[in-house]
Amino acid sequence: MAVTGRADLHAHTTASDGMYAPAEVVRRAKLAGLSAIAITDHDTVAGVEEAIAEGDRIGMMVIPGVEISTVTDHTDIHVLAYYTDNADPVWQNRLAWIGSARDRRNDEMLHKLQELGIDISIEDVREAAKGKKGSIGRPHIAEALIRMGVVADMKEAFARYLGSGAAAYVQVQSVTTTEALSWIREAGGVSVIAHPGLYGRDELLGRWAAEGAHGIEAFHSDHSAEDAERYQTFAANHELIITGGSDFHGEREGESYHGPLGSSGVELVVAEQLRRMAASMSSSN
């Protein structure tokens, strides 16, 4: 494959909490001038097949991925997985189990919001999700709060109610980061620690590298230039793949949640690094 161009290795669709269908995200990635896009929905690969089919149709490289919700030391940590064997029933069952934990958290967060005097129901959230086929998550709850006039925008929803430490926040009781790294490896995938700058737990990066993480997302819409430089240095020192992505979810009133497609990413050669790593793992099994 050609190794020139840009790749956005972190994007969401309606299969989880994104605003656009998988095929639409692929089309938008092409219009944004990207050469490759990774579909990394939360705890599901339900949008990957549609995205790959659209990529084949329009000549756009689509990288199969998923963003796994994990916990380490009471901190929510997300791990990106690329090129997993999505036909593996064990892997699918594990994703389903993680997804069920998200559903339980949604119920608990709604209960907390109700205790705070906000008359919100799961029906309100489903309406805000506009019949999306994927899992419901915090952005959908935030959208419901916006529609109800409780908050003005996504930032306020997360700052006041839904973000870590906020009034209605509930942590996902899910797989540990260590377990997730093992599960991804067993599914033949390549694991990357997502947006480490959002956690404030850089002291854990060495531990995850020792436990088998293959890469680190140095470039992200919410990372500063200093963050990106720090994580590039760490990755180089630990022989990890340096990745990047926008964490695109869509736009509301002209503003993107996290960042627009292609606003953060890497050279296309990194996508080839991920593919080769997955291939080498498959051949060694």
204: CATH = 3.20.20.140
Is 165 part of any domain?
A: no
The tokens describing 52, both together, are 């790959």
Q: How many domains does the chain have?
A: 1
Which pLDDT score, from 0 to 100, does residue 1 have? 42
- pLDDT less than 50: residues of the chain: 1-2
CA-to-CA distance for 164 and 38, rounded, in angstroms?
Answer: 26
Residue 133 inside a domain? The answer is no
Q: What residue type is 239 in one-letter code?
A: E
Strand, helix or coil at 70?
Answer: strand
**The two three-digit tokens of residue 42, written as one number:** 């939360």
Give pLDDT, residue 95: 94
Phi, psi (5° rounding) for residue 208? Answer: -70, -35
Domain-embedded: residue 172: no
Q: Residue 181: inside a domain, yes or no?
A: no
**Three-state DSSP class for 252?**
strand
CB 264 within 8 A of CB 279: no
* Contact status, residue 215 vs residue 239, Cβ threshold 8 Å: no
Per the structure, the complete domain to which residue 230 belongs is given by: 6-88+188-284
**Of the candidates 102, 258, 85, the residue with the CA atom closest to the CA atom of residue 188:** 85
Which pair of tokens denotes residue 168? Answer: 């209605």
Tell me, what's the pLDDT at 94? Answer: 95
Q: How far is CA 210 from the centre of its chain?
A: 22
Q: Look at residue 204 and tell me if it is in a domain.
A: yes
In a domain, 59, yes or no: yes
Residue 215, Cβ density class (10 Å: 0-12 exposed, 13-18 middle, ≥19 buried)? buried
Instruction: Kindly state whether residue 67 falls inside one of the protein's structural domains.
Output: yes
Is 278 among the domain residues? yes
As separate numbers, helices (DSSP H) first and strands (DSSP E) second, the chain gives 10, 11
